[in-house]
Amino acid sequence: MPLTRIALRAGKPAEYRKALTDSIQRALVGTFNVPKDDVFMLLSEHEAGNLIYDRQYLNIERSDDFVAIQLTVSNTRTLEQKKALYQRIADELAQSPGLRREDVFISLVEVDKENWSFGNGIAQYAV
C-alpha cells in the first residue's frame, strides 16, 4: 500500500535507480510487513538547480548524491516500526547502491486506510 516518491540528481544509471527501488522495497517488506508485490514507486530526476536542500542542516553533511524519499502509508504503524524503517532504508541503501547514510532523507505521510484506491474506482481498504 505504500506510494513511494524518490527524488534524486539526474544522471544516475538505470542500475543505480533499480538498486534504490529494490532496497527501499526490501526495507518496507522487512519492517512494515508490506507484501513483496505491493510496489508503487515514482522516481523523479532533477538537475542540480532543481534539487534544493541544505547541505548541513542538523549538522549532517550532505553531498550531491542526496536522495529524498517520501512514503505515503496507512497510519497503522508504531513509532518503533517507523524508526526501524528509517534505519533499514539507510542500511539497505548503504549496501546497494552504496549511498551514504547522510544523503538519505525520508519523510512519511500517513493517511487513513479509506484514502486508497488501487484501481477500478474502488476504495479497497474502506470498511
**Which residues form the catalytic set?**
2
State the burial class of residue 100 (Cβ atoms within 10 Å of its Cβ: 0-12, 13-18, 19+).
middle
Give the C-alpha separation, 97 to 4, whole Å.
Answer: 18
- Around 24, how many Cα atoms within 13 Å sit in the side-chain half-sphere? 26
Residue with grid cell 542500511, as numbered in its chain: 91
Question: Phi and psi for 23 in degrees, rounded to 5?
Answer: -65, -45
Q: Helix or strand or coil: residue 38?
A: coil
Pairing of strands 41-46, 67-74: unpaired
Amino acid at 77: R
